[in-house]
Structure 1
Amino acid sequence: MIKTLWQPPRLRTAEENEKERRATWLELFYDLVFVAAIAEVAHNLNEHVSLLGFLGYMLLFVPIWWSWVGATFYASRFDTDDLGHRLLTLLQMIAIAVLAVNVHYGLGKTSDGFALSYVIVRCILIFQYLIAGYFVVAARKLTTWYATGFGIAAAIWLISIFVPVPGRFWLWGLGLIIDFGTPLTAGKLVAKAPPSFSHIPERLGLFTIIVLGEAVIAVVKGVSQLQWGFASATVAVLGMIVAFSLWWIYFDSVDGSPLRAMGLGNMKIGLIWLYSHLPLAIGIAAAGVGVEHIVVSSKTAGALPSNERWLICGAVAICLTALAVIHLITCTLGTKRHRKILAAYRLGSAAFILVIAIAGAALSPITVVSLVALACAVQVVLGFLTPPHVQPEAKC
């Protein structure tokens, strides 16, 4: 039940960073619209399995992910759960839904709808930061910095609507660079209003669950399109092993995020950890699409088509590389040496999978997905064989 119809924003993390904070029901409901958005962008990749299609998939995925990150970090600091916050969240959900509807037109001449939807999402966030800065003096410099940077990026996206393709996409890229660079250049301003050290890792974990769910749905969808057979069943099981292995090695470390460094003004390590989740999410969702295609390809004899081989191998290699970075800077995993060993394992498997992509032109669908699943499962086994043997480091 709403405690009050309206209350001014307050800096929640100043009093809550020393205790556990969980996601609210509103945040979980908010996530549902991103389930639909990711499903649409994955479906778009499913229809365009090629290098150009994958680049387009990434271009569409990044604004969706960044919209979610923006709302999550704002709520982590200033969520009041009053009527005003709920209504603004509803407006964001509607804008994200429109964004999802426009995904299939997001790379053509009618991509202005996708751009306009993103502008609306960002303008709502900018408005929230301006209100928060007005009432929370301690965070005013940070909220002004964010509102200015995000506002410039949103203006560039708005201008892109009037620019023909492909110039429009170059403006999107410039806007995203400014968007991502704004928190990176905030420096010690974040120390005065840090994000919640327990809330953000949980929220990012939930988003990772969303993309893992999309990968599982893709596997089920691929099998459901065919008559049940040994080949398709085997590929489906191996695809589930890939998803389960990625879940295992990620969620063994997510609670030990290095976000506390941001509270000390060290933005670099916190943002590297945060931004590494973007290629991880991109890779997981794309891997699901790849397995779906392999399930269908397993019905026919012969080698797996090169575009499908590159999709599954490239997607999983991206995931493992992102996990290598995450594990390298997650201090609770042990000493720096131990974290380097874990990162080396991830990078070694990523390199092995890329070799399959390069030299596996003659490999069958089952062979390709078997090798990829093996490379992922080995990471889980290596985690058991290389315990840290020491207490985790207190800080990086």
Structure 2
Amino acid sequence: MTKALWQPPRLRRDEEQVSERHATWLELFYDLVFVAATAELAHSLSGNISWTGCLKFAILFVPIWWCWVGATFYATRFDIGSIVDRLFALVQMAIVAAMAVNVHHGLSSSGSGFAICYVLFRVTLILQYLNAGHHIPAARSLTTWYATGFGLSAGLWLVSAFLPPPLRLGLWVVSLAIDLSTPLSAGRLVAKIPPSMPHVLERIGLFTLIVLGESVIGVVGGLAEHEWSLGSILVGLLGLAIAFSLWWLYFDTADGSPLKSMKVGKMRVALTWLYAHLPLAMGLVAAGVGVEHLIAHDATAIPSSAERWLLCSAIATCLLALAGIHYMSCALGTARYRKILSAYRTASAVLVLLLAMVGDRLSSLNLVTLVALACVVQVLLDLLRSSVATRPATATETSQPSKPT
């Protein structure tokens, strides 16, 4: 074990693994700092439920999520058990913690600090890639490509730290576009060294659990900070029903089949599937904040327009993201079945958005009941279709002659 700690980076390949690879203790520990960062983002949104507050939440969520994605995909290709990578992980955790501290004023007074933190994180990731490329010639083309693209983006982020907020924000958008498009343009190189598909799916599932936890925290926090009543308890239970339904819809059909297109250099499908998890994650966190605010009211009181829109738009975003994810997940069945699943999710999202538009007279309890119903119905429809798909054919059905082709 001690000898392995001093070894240089080693390339991981699925075909070389004796057993299926799972998240390491270091990766699980690493996730904890992103739990804290997500909690700070949720707290910031809770203190400013408005269109500007939601925009701020989304803008700051993206770079934090992208930091996690960057570290995760590095760890799927290279062994992260060495002393060097462990020290890199420690530094990155400290940087993400600093990013979380700067979240509350990330678009104003703390914007420069947030930008510098992001630059530092990306620089450590670039150094990891360059170190891996130095020791592994087969990976050098890919690591150089990533280091170049990510380095250009980091340079723009560094410049943004010295600009006023409007210009800074514009440069952030350009920089993130470069970051997100760098893997998209590396298809030929990725095909030679694809990530570990089972490991990526597990890691993304773990991050989804992290953000789902914010929904549970929202229920617990809402009940803990306010006097209990039958109405608030019902709202809390319905909030848990929403979280449980979204967990069911995602994890009962969790499938990373679109990622397999990376093995032949087709990055568009794989990255569309991956990037669809970004609005899903943001929606799950925002939904927890929305439920917490509804619990704070008397169950018969009418929530504010901002609170109603926050909850409904968050759930609609989750359902639309699931519609896209399920449509691309080939292992779920035929194209027709996947279209039906996506249609279910989309229709339910539209209904939830209609509640936001016309539900200005709905009490907190009635609103969360209808939103929970929209989510639970999705689970019931999936169960119904699953039971029909697995039902044995009857004698009548099997005796019917097949139609000529």
TM-score (normalizing by structure 2): 0.93
CA gap of 1:331–1:346, structure 2 versus 1, over 3 A, is same
Q: In structure 1, what residue type is equivalent to 2:230? A: F
2:104 is matched with which residue?
104
Task: Please give the root-mean-square deviation of Cα atoms over the aligned residues, in Å.
Answer: 1.4
2:384 is matched with which residue?
385
| Separation in 1, partners of 2:334, 2:176 | 35
CA deviation string 1:74-105 (max 9, x = no partner): 01101240111111110100111111111112
Q: In structure 1, what residue type is equivalent to 2:357? A: I
1:153 is matched with which residue?
153
1:263 is matched with which residue?
263
| Separation in 2, partners of 1:16, 1:166 | 49
| Separation in 1, partners of 2:5, 2:50 | 50
Equivalent position SS for 2:9:
coil
Q: In structure 1, what residue type is equivalent to 2:343? A: A
Deviates more, 1:105-114 or 1:325-334: 105-114
* Contact 2:160–2:171 (8 Å) recurs in 1: yes
1:286 is matched with which residue?
286
Structure 2 counterparts to residues 326-341 of structure 1, below 5 A: 326-341=325-340
Q: In structure 1, what residue type is equivalent to 2:352? A: I
Deviates more, 1:24-33 or 1:128-137: 128-137
| Separation in 1, partners of 2:322, 2:3 | 41
| Separation in 1, partners of 2:331, 2:17 | 18
| Separation in 2, partners of 1:305, 1:80 | 48
Flag as ranges the 4+ runs of structure 1 deviating above 3 A: 14-19
Shift of 1:217: 0.6
Equivalent position SS for 1:386:
helix
1:349 is matched with which residue?
348
* Contact 1:17–1:198 (8 Å) recurs in 2: no
| 2:7 equivalent to 1:7 | yes
CA deviation string 1:110-162 (max 9, x = no partner): 31111111111100000011111122222221111111110011001000011
1:72 is matched with which residue?
72
2:399 is matched with which residue?
none
* Contact 1:2–1:82 (8 Å) recurs in 2: no
CA gap of 1:110–1:117, structure 2 versus 1, over 3 A, is same
CA deviation string 1:256-295 (max 9, x = no partner): 4321111111111111111011000000000000000011
Shift of 1:166: 1.6
| Separation in 2, partners of 1:105, 1:43 | 12
CA deviation string 1:206-263 (max 9, x = no partner): 0000011121111110111111101100110000000000000100122443211111
Shift of 1:17: 6.9
Equivalent position SS for 2:164:
coil
CA deviation string 1:318-363 (max 9, x = no partner): 0000000110011111011100000000001000000001111111
* Contact 1:21–1:198 (8 Å) recurs in 2: yes
CA deviation string 1:150-193 (max 9, x = no partner): 00110010000110112111111111111101111112211101
Q: In structure 2, what residue type is equivalent to 1:270? A: A
Deviates more, 1:47-56 or 1:129-138: 129-138
| Separation in 2, partners of 1:343, 1:121 | 36
CA gap of 1:384–1:98, structure 2 versus 1, over 3 A, is same
Q: In structure 1, what residue type is equivalent to 2:44? A: N
Shift of 1:19: 5.0
Q: In structure 1, what residue type is equivalent to 2:259? A: L
1:393 is matched with which residue?
none
CA deviation string 1:14-53 (max 9, x = no partner): 5447952100000000000000000001100000101110
Structure 2 counterparts to residues 52-71 of structure 1, below 5 A: 52-71=52-71
Structure 2 counterparts to residues 168-183 of structure 1, below 5 A: 168-183=168-183
| Separation in 2, partners of 1:145, 1:19 | 30
Q: In structure 1, what residue type is equivalent to 2:316? A: A
* Contact 1:109–1:164 (8 Å) recurs in 2: no
| 2:244 equivalent to 1:244 | yes
Structure 2 counterparts to residues 19-98 of structure 1, below 5 A: 19-98=19-98
Equivalent position SS for 1:198:
helix
Equivalent position SS for 1:228:
coil
* Contact 2:212–2:284 (8 Å) recurs in 1: yes
CA gap of 1:2–1:284, structure 2 versus 1, over 3 A, is farther
| Separation in 2, partners of 1:36, 1:219 | 17
* Contact 2:8–2:82 (8 Å) recurs in 1: no
Equivalent position SS for 2:187:
coil
| Separation in 1, partners of 2:55, 2:7 | 43
CA gap of 1:16–1:315, structure 2 versus 1, over 3 A, is farther
Shift of 1:315: 0.2
TM-score (normalizing by structure 1): 0.95
* Contact 1:202–1:255 (8 Å) recurs in 2: no
CA gap of 1:278–1:18, structure 2 versus 1, over 3 A, is farther
| Separation in 2, partners of 1:110, 1:228 | 37
| Separation in 2, partners of 1:13, 1:64 | 27
* Contact 1:17–1:197 (8 Å) recurs in 2: no
| Separation in 1, partners of 2:157, 2:2 | 35
| Separation in 1, partners of 2:118, 2:362 | 42
- Calculate percent identity across the aligned residue pairs: 57
Structure 2 counterparts to residues 294-313 of structure 1, below 5 A: 294-298=294-298, 301-313=300-312
2:230 is matched with which residue?
230
* Contact 1:12–1:77 (8 Å) recurs in 2: yes
2:211 is matched with which residue?
211
* Contact 1:321–1:347 (8 Å) recurs in 2: yes
